[in-house]
């Protein structure tokens, strides 16, 4: 937060971050069935109402205001 886009790139691009925590016992040897912990995959389905999404983009993203949790 607190950064603005340069005039050559004036469009803000939202980012979604997902954080996974796996309760494990011990240390070494942990892996996912898909490979390393970096092999996780997620899909995003946009189900926002267009007006609500526009409000969040205008009031939070473009205003450089953190409006969510975490």
Residue 10 in this model has a pLDDT that exceeds 70: yes
Which carries the bigger pLDDT value, residue 66 or residue 11?
66
pLDDT of residue 49: 94
Three-state DSSP class for 42? coil
What's the pTM value of the predicted model, to 2 decimals? Answer: 0.47
User: pLDDT digit string (tens) for 15-61?
Assistant: 788 887 878 776 677 777 888 777 878 888 989 899 998 898 889 88
Residue 1 counted as domain residue: yes
Residue 20 counted as domain residue: yes
Host domain of residue 62: 1-24+40-70
Q: How many domains does the chain have?
A: 1
Residue 32 counted as domain residue: no
Distances (CA, A) of 2 to 42, 64, 66, 68: 28, 6, 9, 15
Query: Could you tell me the pLDDT band of residue 3, with boundaries at 50, 70 and 90?
Result: low
């Amino acid at each position: 937060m607190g950064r603005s886009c340069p005039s050559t790139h004036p469009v803000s691009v939202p980012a979604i971050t997902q954080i996974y925590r796996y309760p494990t016992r011990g240390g070494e040897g942990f892996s996912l069935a898909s490979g390393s912990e970096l092999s996780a995959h997620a899909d995003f389905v946009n189900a926002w109402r267009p007006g609500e999404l526009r409000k969040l983009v205008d009031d939070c993203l473009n205003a450089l205001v953190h409006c969510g949790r975490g």
